[in-house]
Amino acid sequence: EKAFGEYSDRVRLWCTINEPAVYSVMGYFQGVFPPGEKNPQLATEVLKNLLVAHTRVYKRLKSLPNGEGTRIGLVKNIMQFDPYRRWNLMDWLACRISSSIYNEITLSYLKEGKIDVMFPGFVTLKYSSKDAAGKTDFFGLNYYSHVHLKFKINGKDFFESKYLDSDTMTDMPYAIYPEGLYRAIKSVGTLDRPIIITENGIADEKDD
């Protein structure tokens, strides 16, 4: 509210939250970001809370002076998950679960105001809000890469990320995968909202 009140007469595009799925997955599932949890159910709950927060911020800013004259959106990175072994059904399942949580929860929430994830023994979450559907004026798309998943039998940590020998890697390290930008745009296009590419690039420590 403070920033909006100061700049909304000059700034016409506003982003509420940047990459909510990264925060929830890295902090509450993979344990890389604080608080270092490894709990898929908790990660999904955190993501839901961040999406609800987006809706509340969107509605509040729209009600303020200059609100109706601005466009307010959520920024989300889209990561594709592809099976490391295309013949292995468990690798496909790992990709399906990962994409459902990482990508589809957000898209379903923004489009229909609903979250419906059912993977018994791993993640179960149902949520519905009439206020949430369509509460974004544009979709801020961050895109960098895709990842191959290899299933492993290990309770909550059921896959490992793999790269192919043929992949050209950045210093992130991510595989350079231009086709994924097209795939991301196609998946986000189902929201029927303008798409603004808010992040894209190649990590290179020499800045070449």
Q: What is the pLDDT of residues 6-55, one digit of tens each?
A: 999 999 999 999 999 999 999 998 899 999 999 999 999 999 999 999 99
Residues in Cβ contact with 193 at an 8 Å cutoff, skipping those fewer than 6 apart = 73, 110, 136, 137, 138, 139
pLDDT per residue as tens digits for the range 102-159: 999 999 999 999 999 998 888 999 999 988 999 999 999 999 999 999 998 775 677 8
Kindly report the pTM of this predicted structure. 0.93
Amino acid code (one letter) for 165: D
Mean pLDDT of 90-97: 94
Q: Give the range among 57-61, 93-97, 104-108, 191-195 with minimum mean pLDDT.
A: 93-97
Mean pLDDT of 177-194: 96
How confident is the model at residue 196, as a pLDDT? 98
Mean pLDDT of 44-73: 97
Residue 196 or residue 208, greater confidence: 196
* Residue 145: C-alpha distances to residues 70, 140, 160 (Å): 31, 16, 16
CB 55 within 8 A of CB 130: no
How confident is the model at residue 156, as a pLDDT? 60
CB 145 within 8 A of CB 201: no
Q: How confident is the model at residue 208 (pLDDT cuts 50, 70, 90)?
A: confident
Residues in Cβ contact with 91 at an 8 Å cutoff, skipping those fewer than 6 apart = 83, 84, 85, 149, 150, 151, 159
Through-space distance between the first and last CA atoms of the chain, rounded to whole angstroms? 39
